[in-house]
Amino acid sequence: MDLSYVLTLLVFFPVLGMVVLAFIPNTQEKTIKLVGFLATLPTLLLSLAVYFHYLAGKSLEDFSVMKHWIQFGGFGEMDKNFFAVHYELGLDGFSMIMVLLTSIIATLAAVASIHIKKEWKGYFMLFLLLEVGMLGVFAAENLILFFIFFEITLIPMFFLIGKWGYFEKERAAYSFLIYNGLGSAVLLIVIMVLFARTGTSNIDVLAQIVNNPDQQMMAPISDTMKFGLLFALLVAFGVKLPIFPLHTWMLRVHVQAPPSIVMLHSGILLKIGAFGLIRFGMGIFPEQFKTLGLLLAILGVINLLYGAFLAFVQKDFKMVLAYSSISHMGIVLIGLGAMNEAGIQGAIFQVVSHGLISALLFFLVSVFYERTDTTLLENLGGIAKGMPIAAGFLLAGAMASLGLPGMSGFVSEFMAFLGLFEEMPWVAAVGAIGIIMTAVYLLRAVLGITFGKSHREFTGITDLRKVEWVPVITLMALIVLIGVYPSVLSEPLKTTLDAIMLGLGG
Amino acid sequence: MELEQLLDFKWSIMTPEFIILGVATLLSILDLFMPKSMDRKILGWIGVAGIAAATVSLAGFIDEPVTSILFDTFRLDSFAKAFKFILLIGSLFVLLLAISFEKKDGLAEFAGEFYYLFLTALLGAMFMASSGDLITLFIGLELLTISSWVLVGVTKRNKKSNESAMKYVINGGISTAITLFGLSYIYGLTGTTNIKDMSGTLMTMGGSQNQLYLLAIAFFMTLVGLSFKLATAPFHMWAPDVYEGAPTPVTAFLSIVSKTAGFVIIVRIFVSIFGSVPATGAQDALPMLLHLQDYIGFLAGATMIIGNVIALRQRNIKRMFAYSSIAHAGYILVAFTSMSYFTFDAIWFYLLAYLFMNVGAFAIIQLVGAKAGSDDISAYAGLYRRAPILAVTFAVLILSLAGIPGTAGFIGKLNIFMGAFATEPAHYVLASILIATSVVSYFYYFGIMTQMFFRPAADDSKFNIPVALLVVLIGSVVGTIALGILPNIAFDFLHDNFMQFKDFLQ
């Protein structure tokens, strides 16, 4: 059976939703929200189907699609592939998991969008465009296509922050645009250098050509240049991840963007940084990447500690979560820095786990804000009296985030540190302080909210409504599932990891 | 010259030029005999039909081998054909803009001239594309320049228009003098004005050191003089004032057709003459063009920085677009500097993409400017509320100018990067300036977006869009998106018909 159309359908289905939305008048709030939500479903179902297809033991290569697209420089008569950019989508274990994660969180964020108060039509059209961009990033098989999808996420985010955000929304939108614009600029330089000098942009082919000195190229790529390119990649994805000190934009976005968008931003968009580092950094420049181990581990520890300490002093719950994201992304870097199987696996686990956890926490933020118009810790104090169930889930989410055994956060942190302790015990020992700090700041914030002194009466506010149960239960279930049965992730990741370890020569 | 010999020439290859000349003459006669009160719009439509006919006749010559007539002064090679398409399509759009332009400030009196002067200017530009001799080239240049001088000042009762015409004349005069000064050195060294003979003589001359110095002077003088037409540093200062004061269709003409003509002439002269002179006495030395390319690169870098940085401070949208057009000329100069395998492709494609995105933008500037009575950027506040489709159209064009994927501008920039990186040594600095200044340009391009989408509207009045302008808008948006998503339409056209311009020097 020919399955090559599946990925195209999966990635571009939200576009159909955009078209339908365009014909609905802006006043039909309910219809718009419903259509926006429904438009994310086919993608979710398709990515689940892909996952089960894989579980049934069939190859993911069935889904690969390749069509001739752009031919630069008129070499077409000699060699159809030379300086050609193909439309090629495909999946491996890692990207399949990311696509699945994206479609799940997108659907749940669409549910969270019930809290949006104005201009629903524009909101959902941009939302769906953003989803296309994110799915495409993970499914793209060549660098140019990857970059196109990567940039497609930029534009809807700018508008979603700038129009539907909070008080300083425009500043946050510009900050997002410029930081990420610069990050993409650096990324584009790397991509174009590789493309111009080798004549191909396919990631697998590039990995072969760059590491094989005998290969024919348009122009040579020296070893120094490889280091330069890898470093540029680190900067480009470091903005996205974000790595300290490139993180200021993401604090603004976390605080100013509407929570449903932060679910996507924190859950998926930040992860593109990690995905890119693993896929391109490790995939294309394994030799050079190996030498960066110590640097990455140290950057990771800095991220972990910096985020944790600053999260401790924040007054706004959204800021706590923002710094917590920085801190948790440190664990990804720590895992990558270890350069061994456990570490890298831990890093990927952390990517998925933090995606789920931060989506859950930000969904709860939007639930609280909807009812109380505040996200300040002191104003939220004692909310457990009014909303016991929501507060309960908040506590559970925080437990997952600080790495309680049995939940996904534990598995990833454990593996990442296991990896690092093997390679650089001293760095890991310093990093372990961060784990303790995580528990401290999260408990301070969450206990303050749930059982803290209440400054105001929370009578008359409703607890979780029916529709709000859906995201909360789904996310919680997945967090626990990964916590108790990590094979759901590690099984698909196995081939990817093997390939990476082979490249790293370990 | 014998009459027989004169008739022997294959005059048919000049058909497109004859059509334009004929229509221009026809329009001037009709204008003379039409009653004063009659609407001159019909003349505009005749002009549009004439340009369309010329385009069709040019398409008929696509498979024609290189032909030259009049003792090699007028040649029809693939370079001429490819660029004439851009000139013709650009003028077609500009003339449509002119038809829908409100005739005020004394323009009503000269409405006839307003239309046919565009045609004579176009004729000049087309002669430049086809010239095989410095004399023809210079006459084409002057025809274009003098026609545009009149066009800039055609709104006689408008002070700004007068001021800009004056500035344009003075600057243009100086730059022409400098160009001629440079060209006279080449003439002095070779004793001929025919470009092909010149390159032949220079190639075999070997050249003493003194002759090379003279040639270098010629190189710089010509480069600086011609930078006037491109609006690049150091002759960019006229652009903001002239763009602001001139009637909007004329501004569009200057930024599209006139700029294209400038690149045509600069490529013609530099590649054929300086591309064949060895830079030192030795026969196997690098051509002078490659030897001195860093200087062109320096001008390109300065142009991009000046254009994009000063544009940040503009409140008048026409001035902003003047600086933006300076910056874009800088981008194209990067392609010219790198002189790689991709250079011709990149210049041609970028000019085509720029044609679409810019003419559409000027169409909207004309529409909004006429409605609001001012070109201040605040006139765009709340455009999304007043005219959503118009705002989205403008957004697409702006995104293309900013070089966001999915649009023609992005593919154009990719092509330029490819050229810059595919040479050895690669032009890293120049490419980095290009991309960094592109990110800077996000500030002012997205500033317009902020006005359109985030700000409230001052009034709710609707627009009624004239037919001619609607055609321009649809054409430009379709062109921008089609070239962005399926750029192979243009690349295949280019590669199948013009064979990399191999016949450029034949």
d(CA A493, CA B435) in angstroms, rounded, equals 36
Q: Which residue of A has its CA nearest to B432?
A: A189
The maximal CA–CA distance of chain B, rounded, in angstroms, is 72
Contact assignment for A219 to B423 by CB distance below 8 Å: yes
d(CA A177, CA A149) in angstroms, rounded, equals 15
For the CA atoms of B16, B18, B20, B25, what is the dihedral angle to 10 degrees? -170
Q: Where are the alpha helices (DSSP H) in B373-498?
A: 383-386, 388-402, 408-422, 428-449, 467-485, 488-498
Q: Smallest CA–CA separation between A277 and chain B, in Å?
A: 22
d(CA B501, CA B506) in angstroms, rounded, equals 10
- Angle at Cα B481 formed by Cα B480 and Cα B484, nearest 5°? 90
Share of chain A above pLDDT 90, in %: 39
Contact assignment for B442 to A178 by CB distance below 8 Å: yes
Residue B95 lies in a domain: no
pLDDT of residue B503: 67
pLDDT digits (tens, 9 = 90+) for B350-372: 999 999 999 999 999 999 988 88
Most confident among B50-54, B341-345, B416-420 (mean pLDDT): B50-54
ipTM: 0.90
Residue B477 lies in a domain: yes
Q: Is A456 exposed, middle or buried (0-12, 13-18, 19+ CB in 10 A)?
A: middle
Suggest the residue from B384, B435, B453 to mutate for an interface test with chain A (most A CBs closer than 10 A): B435
Query: Encoding tokens for residue A427?
Result: 């760095």
pLDDT of residue A234: 92
Suggest the residue from B308, B418, B438 to mutate for an interface test with chain A (most A CBs closer than 10 A): B418
| Range B186-199 average pLDDT | 86
Contact assignment for A188 to B417 by CB distance below 8 Å: yes
| Range B37-60 average pLDDT | 89
For B104, which DSSP code? Answer: -
User: In the predicted model, is pLDDT for residue A475 greater than 80?
Assistant: yes
Contact assignment for B345 to A72 by CB distance below 8 Å: yes
Please give the backbone phi and psi of residue B69, each rounded to the nearest 5 degrees, phi first: -130, 175
- Residue tagged 């032909």 (tokens): B67
How many other C-beta atoms lie within 10 A of the C-beta of residue B159?
A: 10
Considering CB atoms only, which of A74, A162, A196 is closest to B417?
Answer: A196
- Residue tagged 């500097």 (tokens): B337
Q: CB–CB of B382/B458 below 8 Å? A: yes
In chain B, how many domains are there? 1
What do you get for the CA distance between the two ends of chain A, in Å? Answer: 38
- Residue tagged 């961009």 (tokens): A133
Please give the backbone phi and psi of residue B63, each rounded to the nearest 5 degrees, phi first: -90, 0
Contact assignment for B424 to A163 by CB distance below 8 Å: no
d(CA B121, CA B454) in angstroms, rounded, equals 41
Q: CB–CB of B199/B272 below 8 Å? A: yes
- Angle at Cα B320 formed by Cα B318 and Cα B323, nearest 5°? 110
- Angle at Cα A422 formed by Cα A418 and Cα A423, nearest 5°? 120
Considering CB atoms only, which of A74, A159, A197 is closest to B421?
Answer: A197
Share of chain B above pLDDT 90, in %: 42
Residue B485 lies in a domain: yes
Q: CB–CB of B76/B11 below 8 Å? A: no
User: In the predicted model, is pLDDT for residue A506 greater than 60?
Assistant: no
For A118, which DSSP code? Answer: S
d(CA A338, CA A350) in angstroms, rounded, equals 14
pLDDT of residue B243: 92
- Residue tagged 């930040």 (tokens): A270
CA B103 to chain centre: 25
Q: Is B157 exposed, middle or buried (0-12, 13-18, 19+ CB in 10 A)?
A: exposed
Query: Encoding tokens for residue B187?
Result: 């003439």
Partners of residue B405 in chain A, C-beta under 8 Å: 147-149, 151-152
**Among candidate residues A120, A199, A133, A115, the one with its CA nearest the CA of residue A370:** A115
Size of interface A-B (CB pairs under 8 A): 100
Q: Which helix (H) or strand (E) holds A70?
A: strand A65-71
- Angle at Cα B504 formed by Cα B500 and Cα B506, nearest 5°? 125
Contact assignment for B418 to A152 by CB distance below 8 Å: no
- Residue tagged 């239309």 (tokens): B115
Q: CB–CB of A321/A228 below 8 Å? A: no
pLDDT of residue B505: 65
Contact assignment for B342 to A73 by CB distance below 8 Å: yes
Q: Is A130 exposed, middle or buried (0-12, 13-18, 19+ CB in 10 A)?
A: buried
pLDDT of residue B228: 87
pLDDT of residue A106: 93
3-state SS, residue A88: strand
Query: Encoding tokens for residue B253?
Result: 């003409």
d(CA A66, CA A120) in angstroms, rounded, equals 36
Partners of residue A174 in chain B, C-beta under 8 Å: 443, 446
d(CA B401, CA B307) in angstroms, rounded, equals 13
Suggest the residue from A15, A72, A129, A153 to mutate for an interface test with chain B (most B CBs closer than 10 A): A72
pLDDT digits (tens, 9 = 90+) for B484-503: 888 888 888 887 777 666 66
> Which domain does B407 fall in, by range?
292-506
What residues of A are in the B interface, CB distance below 8 Å? 69-74, 76, 83, 144, 147-149, 151-152, 154-155, 158-159, 162-163, 170, 174, 177-178, 181-182, 185, 188-189, 192-193, 195-197, 218-220
Residue B453 lies in a domain: yes
Q: Smallest CA–CA separation between B20 and chain A, in Å?
A: 32
Contact assignment for B450 to A159 by CB distance below 8 Å: no
**Predicted TM-score (pTM) above 0.80:** yes
Does residue A242 have a cis bond before it (omega within 30 degrees)?
yes
Q: CB–CB of A359/A475 below 8 Å? A: yes
Contact assignment for A174 to B446 by CB distance below 8 Å: yes
For A53, which DSSP code? Answer: H
pLDDT of residue A220: 77
Residue B214 lies in a domain: no
Q: Which residue of A has its CA nearest to B420?
A: A196
Q: Is A212 exposed, middle or buried (0-12, 13-18, 19+ CB in 10 A)?
A: exposed
Partners of residue A185 in chain B, C-beta under 8 Å: 435-436, 438-439
How many other C-beta atoms lie within 10 A of the C-beta of residue A450?
A: 21
CA B240 to chain centre: 16
pLDDT digits (tens, 9 = 90+) for B277-309: 776 666 567 777 777 888 889 999 999 999 999
**Among candidate residues A86, A233, A240, A57, the one with its CA nearest the CA of residue A157:** A240
- Amino acid identity, residue B228? F
pLDDT digits (tens, 9 = 90+) for A227-238: 999 999 999 999
CA A244 to chain centre: 17
Q: CB–CB of A158/A33 below 8 Å? A: no
Mean pLDDT (chain B) is 87
Q: Which residue of B has its CA nearest to A185?
A: B435
Suggest the residue from B488, B497, B500, B502 to mutate for an interface test with chain A (most A CBs closer than 10 A): B488
User: In the predicted model, is pLDDT for residue B341 greater than 60?
Assistant: yes
Contact assignment for B442 to A181 by CB distance below 8 Å: yes
pLDDT digits (tens, 9 = 90+) for A149-186: 999 999 999 999 988 988 888 899 999 999 999 999 99
User: In the predicted model, is pLDDT for residue A456 greater than 80?
Assistant: no
Query: Encoding tokens for residue A130?
Result: 């953003």
Partners of residue A148 in chain B, C-beta under 8 Å: 405-406, 410
Residue B20 lies in a domain: no
Q: Which residue of B has its CA nearest to A182?
A: B439
Residue B24 lies in a domain: no
pLDDT digits (tens, 9 = 90+) for A19-44: 999 898 888 888 888 998 999 999 99
Q: CB–CB of B147/B124 below 8 Å? A: yes
Residue B121 lies in a domain: no
